[in-house]
Amino acid sequence: MPKMKTHSGTNKRFRLTGSGKIMRRRANTNHLLERKSSRYTRRLAKEVTVAPSDVKEIKKLLGK
């Protein structure tokens, strides 16, 4: 059986922590930042964990 290939799009968007959680970036951080408040953009800068319902599929795409 050949090795599972990592889905490159998924690989760029998510990262796996040491404990096995999947982290993702928040939406609304790419453009039109001038009109968003500093408080809001600072909050968006932090990574968050992926919803439990999506974990299984993302792990599969990451080849784990």
Taking the model in full, what pTM does it have? 0.83
Element (H, E) at 23: strand 22-24
| Model confidence pLDDT, tens digit, residues 18-56 | 999 999 999 999 999 999 999 999 999 999 999 999 999
Alpha-carbon distance of 46 to 25, in angstroms, equals: 7
CATH of the domain at 26: 4.10.410.60
- Provide the pLDDT for residue 23: 97
- Tally of domains in the chain: 1
In-domain check, residue 3? no
- Provide the pLDDT for residue 4: 85
Note every long-range contact of 13-20, with CB atoms under 8 Å and residues 24 or more positions apart, other chains counting: 14/50, 14/58, 14/62, 15/47, 16/62, 16/64
